Structure 1
Amino acid sequence: MSHANAALTPRARTRLALLVVQSGWTYTAAAKMFMVSPRTAKKWADRYRAEGPNGMRDRSSRPRTSPTRTPPAVVKRIVRLRWRHRLGPVQIGGRIGLPASTVHAVLRRCRVNRLSHIDRVTGEPLRRYEHPHPGSLLHVDVTKFGNIPDGGGHRFVGRQQGRVNGSATAQRTGERGKHSRPKIGTAFVHTVIDDHSRLAYAEICTDEKADTAIAVLRRAIAWFAERGVRVERVLSDNGSCYRSHAWRDACADLAITHKRTRPYRPQTNGKIERFHRTLADGWAYARFYDNTPARNSALPGWLHFYNHHRAHSALGGKPPVTRLTNLPGHHS
């Protein structure tokens, strides 16, 4: 494609050349009509005579040889420093004696010019994956949120008032922990996400035991089945509930292949880890809740918003439900 300031496009070049070749116009007259120099008019007319309409196309201006291009060995050193030490162009240039602009050009050419493209732990390029259809893989995990005392938690009312609210709640419920401290409890949110569509299912439970996780999995599979999704695999971390024999037997009973992430490698389950942050920002800490039941009752509405209305950056700004092409009536 011609650049923005080009005087002639391929179509205009053809018109100019035809005026000279077929209509007998002089180079000067044709050049004046298209506001270019006679030399330019002659160039396109000669090229039309030699190559025909194909000669009017744009050609690459890249030189056949680049003798001053950065040698491959130096490129390897630059990329190695970028991967292993996450250094910027200035620091890399200082180490190997090159201008920062040259280093930046090499990093751009190798597509590692942004640190977001590199794994922060290993320094290796990120390996992103996505399964081909809904149900091919489900991610499962558990995230925890502290329960909210009556009157609100410390995030919104401050630590001093939060302690007062916690003591009042413990006095009402009779729940006390170590050293008679108020015991508010923890909400265990079991989450399930489809790898392809990012469609999410979540439940608030009182623990993260194997029986609870299995019951959530069964209900999640039934929920996905109602939406036309047949589950084939499930991916979990190495939590005790997912390493149990009961979980293994439940997956076999459901005809699902169970896969676990590599130990100490949460990036493999990164989609659901990122969903937990979205869950915290969009639901758990999004607004003031004066008690735990108020927060719990807001979860179904937020999940509906996430699945049906919230623009997802990984899906081109569309909500997850748009990827369920097998959902009856979905496009109506």
Structure 2
Amino acid sequence: MSKARLVITALFVEGQSAAEVARRYGVHRAWVYKLKARYLAEGEAAFEPRSRRPKTSPGATAPATVELVLRLRKQLAEAGLDAGADTIGWHLQHHHQVRLSRATIHRILTRAGAVVPDPGKRPRSSYLRFAADQPNECWQSDFTHYRLRGGRDVEVISWLDDHSRYALSVTAHPRITGPIVVSTFLETVAEYGIPASTLTDNGMVYTTRLSGGKGGRNGLESELRRLNITQKNSRPNHPTTCGKVERFQQTLKKWLRAKPTQPTTIAELQALLEIFVDEYNHRRPHRSLTHRATPATAYTTRPKAGPTTDRTSHTHDRVRTDRLDDTGVVTLRMNGQLHHIGIGRTHARTHVLLLVQDQQIRVVDAATGELLRELTLDPDRDYQPTGRPPGPVPKKNR
């Protein structure tokens, strides 16, 4: 028997007063009066468990925001794009000026039945991830098959920047051959510069190292040697070494399958590929990039690497990630001395990249790629103020 029933029995059957019942059962007298009034009004229903949920929830997500989250989920999924909580949060912040935590978005999707739990799925934290430190430090390439409407098979070759996941070149061909690999590579070099290295599988269009020494170098290997580019190849039967470009191809095919009408010619397929590359590079946040930046932001905001012979060996180059403090200042250690660089209170707590080449410094918004400040560090000053060119303070006229 519950304590509530004991109290009611003592009040109405035994005829005890509220004060006596409170002392007898060690409860507050106000609760006894409240229970008595509830029993008189509701009868036996007074003993049913009551929800402790507050009558109002000022911190609850607004219904319009919930509807927006579900609408974004539907739009992204139908377009064949990633529609997870992180991606939805990025679109909310950048396109709708709404900030929601990943946990809140996930709860909204779960309550609406838009998320199906998969306990057997391997957690992302269990993967060992490797990425180049700079754009053009390494380009990955691979090609994949695609069947046009009508049954004709074609192939799509991709060149992807390892650091930023930026899709440098994605083109469709009847069949990928050695000359096509060389021509697409050189066209990409002409547009984006010479990379420091390449990473591919061991297909004969990329390398002849597993051909038993027959035929010498192929066309791509000869071009890489001519340009002083380091060639790297995955181990046989280890496709995960080139996992970034493999994953890119999965994303591409998912997007193509979501189109209401499939292409019938290579020209139609190429037109779709160009639309996808623009969406992927400029408007789709990438889950593996810092602050879920777009590949275009990650590619354009850092200095580019290049072949060893083209690198400058007389400067100290480095890249730092940091966050401005509450006053809009970031710290940088140079030659053992700590310097404070003012950016402005309007950018307080912004995540930034610091691109440092000796005393030349650029401070970039890590999420948007916006250049917040460019300066030459004055090594004789601790604080590097805004609004004045670096250097010694000019003497006032006397």
Q: TM-score, normalised by structure 2?
A: 0.41
Q: Considering fraction of residues, name the structure with more strand.
A: 2
**Structure with higher RCO (Cα < 8 A, 6+ apart):** 1
Q: Considering fraction of residues, name the structure with more helix.
A: 1
